[in-house]
Structure 1
Amino acid sequence: MLKRKPLTALLSLTLGLVGPLPLLAQTDASDSQRVGNIQYGNILDPTGWGAFAVPDPAGMSYLHAGQLRTPTGMLYPWPHQIPDEAPLGTGDWTYTGLVEFGYIHTSGDRNDEFFRMYSGLKNGAALSLLAFSALNPKTGQYVDFRGSRLSSQDQYYRLRTGSYGNYHIEAFYRDIPHTLSTTAYPLWNGVGSTNLTLPNGLATGSTPAQVQAVEANRPRQTLSVTRQSEGVSWESALTRNWIGYAGVTSEHRTGDRDWGGPMYLSYFFAAPGPGGPGTPSIPGTSGGQYDTVRPVDFTTTDVNLGLRNKGGAAGWLFNFTMTGSFFRDNKSTLDYAVPFAVAPGYNSVVTGGTWSLEPDNNYYNVRLEASHPLKLWHGEFSISAAYSSMRQNDALQAPLSPMYCPSGQFIGTTGIACANWNTTAALSQQDGDARIDSGLLNLRLDFRPSAKFSWHLNLRQRDEDNMTRYTMYNPLTGQYGYVPENGAESTATRQTELFQPDSPLYQSNFAQIASIPFTYDDRKTELGGSYRVNQNNTLSASYLLDYQTPRPRERTYINDQHFKLGWDTKAFGDASLRLSYEYQKRTGGPYNPDPYLDAYSPSLPGYLLPAVGYTAFTVAQMYMYDMSNLDASKLRAILTKPLGSTATFTATLYGNRLRYGADIGRQSYDTTGADLSWDWEPTAATSMSIHAGIESSRLKQGNVNDNEALTFSSPEQADAQFGGPFFPYANFWTATDNERDVDAGAHFRHVFSPRVRFDLDYDYTYSRGLNSYDYASLGAISTVYLSILTAADIGNSFPPNVYRMQTLTGNLNLTLTRRVGMRLYGKYEFGNYADWNYAGFNTPADLIVGNRVFTELGPQPHWHAMVVGVFMTVKL
């Protein structure tokens, strides 16, 4: 057997450079960062290595009959048996390999989206695993290949080769399916393309009844996205002390998914909708709301280059990396025709619109890390510096589409000519010209004055510069702002998003006229240390000051202080207990509820304040959660208790309590949870584990409804004070989100004989969310709803959302001959799902609600599905 040199072993552990199949049996380095953090597995074998995960009865060492524990009391896993090797030809190479193939059959609710979410299971033949490994013990060269193909959307292949202590090369290809919906009934033709057209019988200006009649006969479709990833990497010892590495990965996502459309003024209702009282959904009188389907067809390419040394250089250790990420969208726009007019009976030339999809963009990062030992107090000095840049300079599209707003036409009676807005000449610049640069410098000192005491000082400065600037100015008209949503607004409100100095029609309009370049600088200073009181007790403490200067934001600076205390003890027999407590206090400068006025028309020369002023941006007491004061406490306890020499009990308890000190905005957020597990491995042939985790969270926030009777009609609309005429106390409301999540399972492994191995897994997932609310008076309810709702209709909460899933998975491995085996696989999954947002969506016709168009009925409330497979395993 090849003995690994210390350096080779170190590289294998720290860099994921592992060798051929005999050594891969110990660990599968699927998480190699050189080619992307991708897990090579599938529903039949989530680890991607189950066929070789046979514990070795020899244990950890010939000198120790059983297992060993980590310093914290956890059992090390049993090492895996090394597969038999055979000579490869007449040279020094040996090899081992395995192929597993068979048949898969699914039954029950096989089209449920939760069952199909991340698997491409189809009835038929499947190659569950193909593995081959070769090794030359004399030269240290190795080759390893592993692959699986369940379907054309669910497969992976990986090749690794190299020479121990010299170089390593890896390449892979991976398909991962992601089913988003199996109950979609898109209204439009052309799903998957960039041009969504209305089906026969519909045109812009159709009535809800006409659209509903067509939707009732639309075909059912599945919306899904497939991720196709591939990559190659190289790593090599360039000299005695220097190692270089390089890697390129590319991920191509294709498919289609739900997407939006224009959503404006479709909420003036006359009667409750299909969900019953309290769910107002029947026809609006203006605009439309559309749930469309967009194509997904983009590629992300990542490039990594690096150089590091493992010694020398006068005691310095260096690590230099260069990273680039390049996003390319193969479909830049989405055109869609709309079935409803901008307003009922409104004869508009605007019959559709265009969405701009994600632009091409680049990311660059350069980083240098260095460390050097110090003679003082056995210390070490380390420094890291980095520069990164995010850039996007895609060509901008015209504000209106010439397809749906042709030249020579006007938008209603506004006098807005399509020719002045359906061309890129209406833009103040032709490209995005977006860029954000960041710089990072981190200095750290670590000292160990004695065997019991250590301390550290860390200084970190990160500066961000957002250089993106865009002014919404149309040179053809001399107007600032934009024509919104390709004509989704009616003629009466068309003027509200445009500003023009010295124009009686537009000079008093409050409109956004520029982008807002959000950015921040961040300086962190941390001082901490630990002291070992005795053999069983260690105390630790640290203080961190995080000073942030965001701009333009509600506060010009933030002071975020963190106090941390820790206690590690073995004072309770053979059990180990780790306790940690953190207190966080955030304060900052004076709070400005509206720091964004520079991006709006009142900041421009020529703006004429209307007689009634302009509407308050928000209530003055509204605190953004990341800008508000904060008092937070976080407590965590981790207990590890060995049970004899073959079992371990672990428990983690934690609780977080956050108070934001605000009535308007986020008020509090509390989380409590526990994780329990019991692991038992009496022999290499038997193992069993049980785990359970539960977490509860409560998020509370408050807000105040504006007095809509004053909007655009009274100077009091500019009063931003809580309790004033525009934001009265009577309009105050609160909302509370309560969540509870449970995750539990049991796992059993047993080798009955050298020929029979059985695995059984049970997993349970449960989630329940309840959104409740309270209000001071009915004034907190929008006037849109008050005409059709009573206090009894409103109630105090929405129905709970519940998700529950249980799975039972079994594997029976039978050895038939020395080289041939059989695997019987079975998985049964059942669950239920309830979401009040889908209430009333029972048939395709229900997806048309007034002037609103939805796309999917939602997941089925109950599902049962089964997968069975029979596979032959042949050792090569």
Structure 2
Amino acid sequence: EYGVATAATTDAAIGAAALATPYSSLSALREKGGLRFDVHLSDSLEVFANLTNENRKGARPFGMVMGGGGGTGGVEIPESIDYRTTDLVAGLRWSGQRTSANVQASASMFRNRVGTMTVDSPLFVAPANGLASFPQAVFDLYPDNDMYNLRAEVAHSMPEFARMRLTGVVSLTRMRQNDALIPPTPYAAAIVNGIAGGAWDTTASLYRDSARARMDTRLLDLGAAFAPAPSVDVRAKLRRYETSNDTPEYLSCNPLTGQWARLINDGSGVAAVVPNVTPGNNPVGTLPTAYNAALCNLDAVRALGLVPSAGNVNIANVPYDHTQDNISAAAEWRFARSQAFNVQLERETIERSHRERDRTWDDRLKLGYVHRNLAGGTLRASLEGSRRRGSTYHSDPYEEFFSVSMGPEPTANGTNVAGWIHINSLHRKFDLADRDQMVLNLRFNTALADNLDLMLAAQAREQKYPDSAYGRTGRQTQNSLNLDLNWQPTPNTGLFGFASQQDARMRQYGVQSNACVLGNTYYLYSDGTVGTSAVPPVGQTVVGTAGALTGANFLALCGTADALSPLFPSSRSWSATQTDRSTSLGIGGRHDFGRVRLDATYTWASSRSTLDYTYNAAALAMTPAAAALVGGGFPAMTLRQQVLDANLLMPVNRNVTLRLLLRHERGRISDWHYDGVAANPTPAANQQTYLDSGPQDYRVNALGAFVQVAW
């Protein structure tokens, strides 16, 4: 009854109610079944069809927030699950003496029987937008969606022409979802910026009443392989994959009133944009309702030439899509009886819509060496280098989808223009940034005895981001080592063991934003703090200033991090370094008793992740007590896991086989995200309440029986 208790009046009462709530568990049941048919119409032609249906029912944790500005607090509640997924695949396979071809059609239909979820909210949310209270919250859950694919494959051999083999793949995919959208609030009489008649509790307040989301993909993959000489093999490949986002534009505008706004969290918050009211930005007499007469015509709004109230309000969806081209060539030269050298060259080019770079290209060169008789074993070694570069990096390509595009930039003193700058221009997103990568692979297999095999494998990976002052910086490394042993003392018995370890390190660099107000002059003081007074605090000196901010220079002065930037002063920079180590050990075996076969495996795994950070506490005006509390890193996150798997396979007769399964698993988890939650589920005075204290140490036993019938 927590959702309807009177606990919603104070944080203390909410915390008491949470602690008094009886323990409960959430679970989901998955049921899956299917049919498959394979029919050989002739020696060369086969027809197949496969139908599967999966149902999932139950509940899982769900994070709920209410209130404006991202939410007053959070409560973890159960989310109802009632899904059905139906997959259908059908096709033809044809195989001739030199040519083979496959044609396949598939469809996947997802249905969510719980379209929306209504929750009795325990949170006290202040009156907002003409609404006195918010006793319930409504969430729109995953939409029904369909995916259809048609795929054709062909291969043709020409042994008389350098043993050539040609392959081709064509694939077309269509994805659709047209979920009915829900009103921004379930409550009538919502008023935004004092304007009535918005009917915000109906879908008439939406730009359209359904998603109409459409995405198509196309794939073309062509390959060729041939042997120009007895000891040389050559391969070439050309691949194009493209996505087409045909989802129509959706605007954050109420067509009934012409207001550019969207209600947040059932009406308890609002993100709206109106003409800027700071004197001097717009003509005298400009009303806050000046945009409304355009009735959601964005071009008409822009034609008014009015400075918007903010630059960071979402006003339209972003139709992301891309085209990816890969062209590669590879060759292997067997220059000795047991040795070979191989080389592979590839270029990947990606053209993207509405991203920081219109185009990136990644060049890869891989060299390999194989020795099949080195100290009685086989050595495989490869070294791969890649270099990604791209077109000019535009740190903020999303202006047309935000309110910054609705009018000119502000010019009046006193205007807070931080919302017109969405990101530090020196920040680079890792999937688009310049990147240099090296990968070394080593693998050695050998027979220590007639019935004992050894395999050693190692990999060293290094990535650098040479043009990233902020974002991922420095050297990112990942190194791994693996050992495998296989022993077969008798034909009916086999034993194996393995050990592996992986270490990884990643570093990121960022800057805590400050302020950017027109007319102000920001001064950097000797302790790294930034202020607007030319007279520094006691004990400090003025290091420098970028000068007064104006409408003509604020983008340049505030948009890029440097020592004197008002918004991104480098003295407020921070770094975060994540270090991971994982280790696993395992042993197992199998034995064939005749009519019964037993196999078993035991695995022990351990992982540890640390996150350390650096920052300038003085520049952030932190007290010594606060700096001591923050420290230099989070506690380590650890996972220890042990798993025992055993299978017993028993043929009942010629057509029926019985399989018995036993699985025992136990784990110990330490996650700093949840430290202290069990004792204090309401840690702050913002009604944020946790009913789940995080992943716990666990022990699981599973028994199963499977019957296979073949005829």
1:508-527 superposed matches below 5 A: 508-510=309-311, 511-527=313-329
Distance 1:372 1:756 in 2: 44
Are 2:603 and 2:644, in contact at CA under 8 Å, matched by a contact in 1? yes
Say if 2:157 is the partner of 1:373: yes
Give the secondary-structure state (helix, strand or coil) at the position aligned to 1:216.
helix
1:666-815 superposed matches below 5 A: 666-667=472-473, 668-708=475-515, 718=555, 719-723=558-562, 724-749=565-590, 761-779=601-619, 786=622, 790-808=626-644
Could you tell me which amino acid in structure 2 is paired with residue 650 of structure 1?
Answer: M
1:351-500 superposed matches below 5 A: 351-374=135-158, 375-401=160-186, 405=187, 407-408=188-189, 410=191, 414-415=193-194, 417=196, 420-468=199-247, 469-489=249-269, 494=270, 496-499=271-274
Distance 2:681 2:171 in 1: 56
Shift of 1:397: 0.9
Distance 1:330 1:760 in 2: 40
Distance 1:868 1:300 in 2: 26
Provide Cα deviations, 1:200-239, integer angstroms capped at 9, x if missing partner.
Answer: 3345xx1111212222221211112222111111111123
Distance 1:600 1:870 in 2: 57
Provide Cα deviations, 1:331-376, integer angstroms capped at 9, x if missing partner.
Answer: 1112223333334999833333222111111111111111222342
Give the secondary-structure state (helix, strand or coil) at the position aligned to 1:243.
strand
Are 1:287 and 1:488, in contact at CA under 8 Å, matched by a contact in 2? no
Aligned position for 1:633: 438
Give the secondary-structure state (helix, strand or coil) at the position aligned to 1:790.
helix
Pairing partner for 1:248 from 35, 44, 51? 51
Say if 2:375 is the partner of 1:573: yes
Distance 1:439 1:749 in 2: 46
Are 1:480 and 1:500, in contact at CA under 8 Å, matched by a contact in 2? no
1:100-249 superposed matches below 5 A: 188=2, 198-203=3-8, 206-249=9-52
Are 1:521 and 1:550, in contact at CA under 8 Å, matched by a contact in 2? yes
Are 1:436 and 1:466, in contact at CA under 8 Å, matched by a contact in 2? yes
Give the secondary-structure state (helix, strand or coil) at the position aligned to 2:12.
helix
Distance 2:636 2:391 in 1: 40
Are 2:149 and 2:173, in contact at CA under 8 Å, matched by a contact in 1? yes
Shift of 1:827: 6.7
Distance 2:184 2:342 in 1: 59
Are 1:389 and 1:438, in contact at CA under 8 Å, matched by a contact in 2? yes
Shift of 1:570: 1.7
Aligned position for 1:659: 464
Are 2:198 and 2:257, in contact at CA under 8 Å, matched by a contact in 1? no
Using a 3 Å threshold, how does the CA distance of structure 1 residues 760 and 393 change in structure 2: closer, same or farther?
closer
Distance 2:56 2:222 in 1: 40
Provide Cα deviations, 1:677-702, integer angstroms capped at 9, x if missing partner.
Answer: 11111103432211111111111111
Are 2:584 and 2:606, in contact at CA under 8 Å, matched by a contact in 1? yes
Distance 1:300 1:814 in 2: 33
- Which ranges of structure 1 fall in alignment gaps of 5 or more residues? 1-186, 189-197, 268-285, 816-821, 872-876
Give the aligned length.
631
TM value normalised by structure 1: 0.67
Aligned position for 2:72: 287
Q: More relative contact order in 1 or in 2 (CA 8 Å, sep 6+)?
A: 1
Are 2:198 and 2:256, in contact at CA under 8 Å, matched by a contact in 1? no
Using a 3 Å threshold, how does the CA distance of structure 1 residues 732 and 847 change in structure 2: closer, same or farther?
closer
Shift of 1:449: 1.6
Give the secondary-structure state (helix, strand or coil) at the position aligned to 2:224.
strand
Aligned position for 2:533: none
Using a 3 Å threshold, how does the CA distance of structure 1 residues 696 and 265 change in structure 2: closer, same or farther?
farther
Instruction: Determine what percentage of the aligned residue pairs are the same residue.
Output: 26
**Which piece of structure 1 moves more, 522-531 or 455-464?**
455-464
Provide Cα deviations, 1:165-204, integer angstroms capped at 9, x if missing partner.
Answer: xxxxxxxxxxxxxxxxxxxxxx75xxxxxxxxx233345x
Using a 3 Å threshold, how does the CA distance of structure 1 residues 245 and 829 change in structure 2: closer, same or farther?
closer
Distance 2:136 2:624 in 1: 31
Shift of 1:848: 7.8
Using a 3 Å threshold, how does the CA distance of structure 1 residues 383 and 477 change in structure 2: closer, same or farther?
same
Provide Cα deviations, 1:554-591, integer angstroms capped at 9, x if missing partner.
Answer: 01110111111111112313201111221110000000
Are 2:67 and 2:125, in contact at CA under 8 Å, matched by a contact in 1? no
Give the secondary-structure state (helix, strand or coil) at the position aligned to 1:342.
coil
Could you tell me which amino acid in structure 1 is paired with residue 273 of structure 2?
Answer: L
Using a 3 Å threshold, how does the CA distance of structure 1 residues 687 and 380 change in structure 2: closer, same or farther?
closer
Could you tell me which amino acid in structure 2 is paired with residue 853 of structure 1?
Answer: T
Give the secondary-structure state (helix, strand or coil) at the position aligned to 1:254.
strand
Provide Cα deviations, 1:72-118, integer angstroms capped at 9, x if missing partner.
Answer: xxxxxxxxxxxxxxxxxxxxxxxxxxxxxxxxxxxxxxxxxxxxxxx
Pairing partner for 2:673 from 811, 823, 837? 837
Are 1:393 and 1:433, in contact at CA under 8 Å, matched by a contact in 2? yes
Are 2:222 and 2:237, in contact at CA under 8 Å, matched by a contact in 1? yes
Distance 2:246 2:645 in 1: 53
Are 1:769 and 1:800, in contact at CA under 8 Å, matched by a contact in 2? yes
Aligned position for 1:319: 102
Distance 2:376 2:196 in 1: 81
Distance 1:463 1:428 in 2: 29
Using a 3 Å threshold, how does the CA distance of structure 1 residues 711 and 823 change in structure 2: closer, same or farther?
farther
Using a 3 Å threshold, how does the CA distance of structure 1 residues 266 and 536 change in structure 2: closer, same or farther?
same
Using a 3 Å threshold, how does the CA distance of structure 1 residues 858 and 236 change in structure 2: closer, same or farther?
same
Give the secondary-structure state (helix, strand or coil) at the position aligned to 2:17.
helix
Aligned position for 1:818: none
RMSD: 3.3
Distance 2:49 2:477 in 1: 44
Give the secondary-structure state (helix, strand or coil) at the position aligned to 2:567.
coil
Distance 2:518 2:67 in 1: 18
Shift of 1:800: 0.3
**Which piece of structure 1 moves more, 840-849 or 242-251?**
840-849
Shift of 1:845: 5.1
Are 2:39 and 2:47, in contact at CA under 8 Å, matched by a contact in 1? yes
Could you tell me which amino acid in structure 2 is paired with residue 593 of structure 1?
Answer: S
Pairing partner for 1:858 from 680, 690, 694? 694
Are 1:263 and 1:290, in contact at CA under 8 Å, matched by a contact in 2? no
Using a 3 Å threshold, how does the CA distance of structure 1 residues 417 and 287 change in structure 2: closer, same or farther?
farther
Shift of 1:604: 2.9
Distance 2:55 2:624 in 1: 49
Distance 1:397 1:722 in 2: 41
Using a 3 Å threshold, how does the CA distance of structure 1 residues 246 and 709 change in structure 2: closer, same or farther?
same
Could you tell me which amino acid in structure 1 is paired with residue 206 of structure 2?
Answer: L
Using a 3 Å threshold, how does the CA distance of structure 1 residues 348 and 609 change in structure 2: closer, same or farther?
farther
Distance 1:601 1:846 in 2: 36
